[in-house]
Structures are given as C-alpha cells and as structure tokens.
Amino acid sequence: MIQTKSLTYKQHEKRNVIYLVLLLVLSFQFWGLKPMGNWSNNAYLIIKIAYLAIGYFFLFHYKVTISDKRLKPMWFILLGIFLSMVTANLYYGQTYMTSLLAYRANILWLAIPVLFKMKPTFEQISKSCLIVTAIMYVLYFVRLGNPGLFALDDETIMRMQQGDDVYLAGYVIACIPLFYGLNQLREKVNIKSIEIIGFCYVYLVILQNRSCLFVMTLLIGYSILKVRSKYRIFLVVILGAILAFFIASMSKEWMGLIQETQQNMGDSDYNRNKAYLYYLTMASPNIWCVLFGNGFLSSHTTSLMQDLMSYGIYNSDVGFIGYWNNYGLIPIIAFIYTFYLAIKKEVPYGVKMWCLLLVGCTPTISYFHGAPLIYVFYYYLVIQYSRHYLIKETK
C-alpha cells in the first residue's frame, strides 16, 4: 500500500513538473526560437487557453470553485484589469474587442486556479524552474553565437553584435530554484542546495539585470547569516567567504554596474527618470484614470505608446508606477495584500525571500505585467501556505 502511494506521488510529481515546464516555455513563447518564434501573438493566445483548459478540466482534480477564498485576490486583480478597459474605452476610444487582444498576455492569471487544482509543492515548482533555467543557459549562448535562429528585429540583432547584449524573456525564473535552495540551506546545509544556488546565481550574473542582481545578492548574503546548524559560525564563515570571493572575482563588472547606476540616477535624460516624471505628472488625464488606470493601449487605437517609447519612456522601467498607470490601484492593493501574507503568516523562509525580491524590485521592474509566472507561482504558494487559507485537501 505504501509502495503504491509512493509510486502514485512520483507519477504526479513528474506530471506536475512537465506541465509547469511547458507552461513556462509557452509563457516565454519559446524565447523567439524559430519556427515557433514566427507564430503570432494571437496563435499563442489560443495555445495558452487550450493548455490551461486541459490542465484545469482533465489533468488535475483537487477541488477549486469560483467562490474559493484562495482566489479572491486574483479576482480583484482581474477586476482592476477589466475596469482599465472601461477607461481605455471612455477616454481613448479603444474598443473592448481591441482591449481583449491587447490584454492577451493577462490570460496567464488563469494559471492560478490551475495551480490550486494541481497542488504542486514548492520543490516541484523549483524543479520545473531549474529545468527552464538550464534551457535558458543553453539558449543564451546559442543566441549569442547564432542570433539568426531566433525571430529578432534588426535593431536587437545589431545591439547584440555590438555589445554582446543578449536578453532572454523570463530570466527572473532562475530566482525560484535559488529561493528553494536558500530555504533548504537554512534548515540543513547540503551540497545540492549550494550547487543550485550557485547555478542560478551565475545565470543572473551573466544576464546582469542590476535591480534583480543587487537584491538577490543581498538576500543570499542575509540567508547565509540565518543558516541553522550547530556548526553555524563555521558555515557562515565558509559560505560568506565563497560569496565574497565570487563577488571580488568580478569586481570590475560590479564596479561598472554601480557606476552606471550612479550616473543614471543623476541624469535627467536617463530613460527611467523621464518615465518616472511622465507617469507621476502627465500620464493620467483625470481622477478616474488615476484610480482605474489608462488601460493598456493598442497601437491600433493610438500612437501614444510608440511615441513614448521613441522618447525612451517605458512603463516596465518604473515597476508599480507603470502598472498603476495601465491598470489602476485595485490590482496593486491585491499585490500588497499577498506581500502582507508572506511577511505576517507562517510561510516557508524561501517564500519570504521571494516576497522581498518582488517588493525590492517594484520601483524599477514590473514583475506583474501580463501575469508573469514569477508572481503567479508566488501567489499560489503564499496563499496555500497561509494559515487563513488552509483547507482540507479532497480529490
């Protein structure tokens, strides 16, 4: 009987991990790798809807209803998104059909009820993200050596050729197995956790996204100090020395990132500074747009988005402020509520560190536009672990 249960668990674990890997790959649209990179956004919308429907109706069977308390923050997020369609229609003339197409990336918010029907563990989510991180490692060097294999515009290819600038969608997913490794490291120091942390951290260093990299370095350093072991002092010294050696070995790169950040902060022409000024002072024409957002405006409706980008103004550069400009305050209140749960409730240490990354990057990075799975997975885990939402699991 015990062997049967163990076999069933392993089968479910394998099924869950495979499903999550494919969900991640679809969300990143195969990173533009040809021929999949040539598929239209509408084609991907149909594929994602079908994939989520298969998971919800056929593969996973834990009980989830529309009125389930665990879904309430998600419904508030979707309510805010819908109301932003109304302001886009009233003040910019964007039709609801156009909004539905422009908002298509938000379909992945519906991955949340699928996760509750699946009930993956923190470890299973970590495994799937670790596999995807390994794939991104390979694709990074493939794109660097042969960008022609990817559906890229001429400007991106030229930038890569000039400065070896390779951007892969979803790089932040590498943080999830890192958080799981930190969670395991805190309970019991083992080589496997250290290897996972190192593997994922090196990838973040390669991509060199400053906001994410700085926050993750601080969280790793803090986690080393919080290691639990009777050999704690010895381990803190050893692990701290390893981290310090790694950082010191890349001192030139670190100093370059720090100097670039300092220069940008004092430069009024820096894109992020211009974006802050625009979104805080000029973006919303009235109080309703302040409360409910201006909507995500399609290029078929107005040239506003293209005009802003031509001036170097991107809402993704200003985190919560850019999201608020698009979708209003209601979704942000829901996000903050899930942060409160992670801080106040008894959730795993790794999930708390995950929360700190999301919070720490809100001024500069939008981990919320288009239902990114870095937040969707976090939402599922923090709600599931929160005492207030614990329910009896029934199939």
pLDDT of amino acid 147: 81
Top-ranked range on mean pLDDT: pick from 105-114, 165-174, 378-387: 105-114
Cis peptide before 35 (omega within 30 of 0): yes
Rounded mean pLDDT of 268-273? 62
pLDDT of amino acid 85: 95
| CA distances for 206 relative to 39, 201, 283, 295, angstroms | 28, 9, 35, 34
- Give residue-wise pLDDT tens across range 347-392: 999 999 999 999 988 877 777 776 689 999 999 999 999 865 544 4
Rounded Cα gap, residues 23 and 59, in angstroms:
14
Token reading at 257: 């990132």
Amino acid at 6: S
State the residue for tokens 């990838």.
Answer: 203
pLDDT band at 246 (very low <50, low <70, confident <90, very high): low
pLDDT band at 327 (very low <50, low <70, confident <90, very high): very high
pLDDT of amino acid 165: 61
Average confidence score pLDDT of the chain: 83
Of 166, 200, 168, the C-alpha closest to 182 is: 200
Residue 190: pLDDT over 90:
no
DSSP, res 170: T
Rounded mean pLDDT of 2-18? 72
pLDDT band at 145 (very low <50, low <70, confident <90, very high): confident
Is the model more confident about 219 or about 284?
Answer: 219
pLDDT band at 320 (very low <50, low <70, confident <90, very high): confident
pLDDT band at 159 (very low <50, low <70, confident <90, very high): low
Q: Are 349 and 225 in contact (CB under 8 A)?
A: no
